[in-house]
Structure 1
């Protein structure tokens, strides 16, 4: 049996010690081309350390072959030996034929480390050497995108697209659309998403088009793309919420609710869908269903502030003070700052005649709600009823600043004197 067949058999048997022993044998017995093929195969199946070992041997035999160094550096990066990769790459001299490729790999290394300026410098140097190489321009566009320089990235992609450049595995229209979307230029992104869809339709491209249409207030277009997406992939759950949101913006609340509940039937662990369905049910006057959806959202995430606030507001409006306290006490028990809930908690304690706790929560809410006339009004009334005239005067003074013409505040101020 040939040594390469033995290596494959050892890999299939999960025997790494025998694999390494057979690799050593292959390095002694086989020709360099076969060894290079072995390195590629080992890397492809995840035996990266072993592939590096083979390339190190080949580089010892052929120190002038810079491509071997570049290949080895790429594998070293994969196994987090970045310092070793850097040493290998910087050893390639500027006049070497493979120097531009080494610069690209260096740029990739710096980019993964978050050193975007260093990555851009290496790419600029490579572009100076090979100004017409589209892969370098595309690589720079990606670095600019990651740096948040969206317009510069878009310009490079626009130039590549205008030149009718083809880059294997890259849809330039889609990348340009994604660059515009990343910079929140959704109206500019939408035509490029549509162009990309003409070239090849995919779930992610459809969602990008739908989302860009939604952000551009083109709700019918957003709905159309979202429906195409769920027809292509019924488990692309974000599309259901996006369709529901679009229908809601068009004022079709019943259809919006149906879209949200359809999404829930596909993804029963999506708290955002439960929250949205809950809010729509309340908008439609279906309070029982709304409460059920909101409670399910909270069951999925006990610290889901938006759902908790919405449900507490419902319970407060229904004067279900005990239920408010049960929900609120569970929420605030983890000592997180839940200031947004404090006014409702204070009102619930007041309604259940637990005045000490009501005073505590009114006081907790006060710093965050000093610009809220409704809260200040409730707080001032409570303080007056509790005989806390000095505190009441302070709150009423703030009410007079917010609503100086209100007839009640002056009377309350006199009551507090």
Structure 2
């Protein structure tokens, strides 16, 4: 019986679950195997994770064939699996430029250098491979993957496009989906949708489904985004960021009940998600559920007192409710935490004016003035307050600035004429 026949029998034993018998048979025959057969046995050992056994055989063959590049590739891959990166590099550097395995060696070196954070060296190796094999699809794919992983999305796009002229799949990777991710990230959402559609035709990948939905969302195709994200929810109910985006998509479609329910489901998954709490609070306001709105907004501020949008939204909610004392308590509490925004000063000024604490209101208006003097709405409110305080010159200055910014404020122009008549 030939060695190859016995080897086939050994492989069959292993594949049938009789691992110990199969490995013993291989051990028995490898001493009489020729060099090519020993190489095949080594590759089997590598496939099965028996790296020490593979290493012994490859080392033996390297001594016999010191110019055979593929042996150095095999030995380097074993070293990589054993986390011996420096040793792996030493083996790869032994592969000669004229060897058919040289391009593969460059690829492996690029991976190792990238793992070590030496991206520029890794890029040089890949570009060298491109020069050596300019028409090789796997080289273009490798460059696309390298640039994508590094965040150089624009650079990755032409390489993926070249690959797609010949292949749609490389190994377990769909090239359409890689290209779609790159296109979406650089804002080419409509082009990305085409490739997401093609890439997801015969497969389902949760990250690609999210990307598909995100690209659709960015160009206002909210119905399509919702459909893709609902597919994703069926596969993974804990997917990061999904609930927030799906909430906003429903809201943009004026499906407020679905939007609020989605936000609630997201909060059941991540109760500390301040963005979802804010979204839920805003939706509860729209749906006229004030108790829920206040709870969600307070929770968002409690998690992050510096979350300005949540603070301002809750402050405006208190204005709607005419709860000016609660508004003051909120804003002063946030400021005590060291958080600050000019809008806080404006809201405090408004609230304290309503509460007839005029001296404090004046202080807050003046504090806000420097940052908000380009806001005509603030300037109008500030000017009216100054009129009430009898400070006509400051009122006039505020109205003039407001009119300069927004010439449509005819009523303020008329107010300025009245102020001129008084002087």
Q: Is 1:123 the counterpart of 2:123 in the alignment?
A: no
Question: Counterpart of 1:380?
Answer: 383
Q: 1:90 to 1:389 in 2, by over 3 A?
A: farther
Deviation at 1:347, TM superposition (A): 1.8
Q: Is 1:240 the counterpart of 2:247 in the alignment?
A: no
Q: 1:337 to 1:302 in 2, by over 3 A?
A: closer
Question: Counterpart of 1:402?
Answer: 405
Please list the CA deviations of residues 228-280 of structure 1 after superposition, one character each: whole Å capped at 9, or x if unmatched: 22222233353333332222212222332233223333433322222112111
> Which has the higher mean CA deviation after the structures are superposed, 381-390 or 134-143?
381-390
Question: Counterpart of 2:6?
Answer: none
CA–CA distance in 2 between the matches of 1:281 and 1:262?
14
Q: 1:330 to 1:70 in 2, by over 3 A?
A: farther
Question: Counterpart of 2:285?
Answer: 282
Question: Counterpart of 2:418?
Answer: 411
What runs of 5+ residues in structure 1 fail to find an aligned partner?
1-31, 45-49
Contact kept? 2:179, 2:195, Cα under 8 Å: yes
Please list the CA deviations of residues 140-183 of structure 1 after superposition, one character each: whole Å capped at 9, or x if unmatched: 11233356654542232122223125422312121121111111
CA–CA distance in 1 between the matches of 2:240 and 2:128?
44
SS at match of 1:198: coil
CA–CA distance in 2 between the matches of 1:333 and 1:43?
63
Question: Counterpart of 1:25?
Answer: none
Deviation at 1:398, TM superposition (A): 1.4
CA–CA distance in 2 between the matches of 1:195 and 1:363?
59
Q: Is 1:262 the counterpart of 2:265 in the alignment?
A: yes
Which of 230, 235, 247 is residue 227 of structure 1 equivalent to? 230
Q: 1:177 to 1:398 in 2, by over 3 A?
A: same
Question: Counterpart of 1:192?
Answer: 195
SS at match of 1:303: coil
Deviation at 1:68, TM superposition (A): 7.0
Deviation at 1:311, TM superposition (A): 0.7
Deviation at 1:42, TM superposition (A): 9.4
Question: Counterpart of 2:142?
Answer: 139
Which of 55, 59, 67 is residue 73 of structure 2 equivalent to? 67
C-alpha RMSD of matched pairs (Å): 3.9
Q: Is 1:346 the counterpart of 2:349 in the alignment?
A: yes
Contact kept? 1:92, 1:99, Cα under 8 Å: yes
Deviation at 1:368, TM superposition (A): 2.2
Q: 1:390 to 1:74 in 2, by over 3 A?
A: farther
Contact kept? 2:250, 2:256, Cα under 8 Å: yes
Q: 1:349 to 1:297 in 2, by over 3 A?
A: same
Query: How many pairs does the alignment contain?
Result: 376
Deviation at 1:292, TM superposition (A): 1.7
Contact kept? 1:74, 1:105, Cα under 8 Å: no
Contact kept? 1:328, 1:341, Cα under 8 Å: yes
SS at match of 1:184: coil
Which has the higher Rg, Structure 1 or Structure 2?
A: 2
Please list the CA deviations of residues 21-65 of structure 1 after superposition, one character each: whole Å capped at 9, or x if unmatched: xxxxxxxxxxx9999999999999xxxxx9xx99xx999989876
CA–CA distance in 2 between the matches of 1:398 and 1:392?
10
CA–CA distance in 1 between the matches of 2:116 and 2:346?
46
SS at match of 1:199: coil
Superposed, 1:193-208 pairs within 5 Å as 193-208=196-211
Contact kept? 1:73, 1:89, Cα under 8 Å: no
Q: Is 1:171 the counterpart of 2:171 in the alignment?
A: no
CA–CA distance in 2 between the matches of 1:166 and 1:403?
57
Normalised by the size of structure 2, how large is the TM-score? 0.74
CA–CA distance in 2 between the matches of 1:289 and 1:332?
25
Question: Counterpart of 2:25?
Answer: none
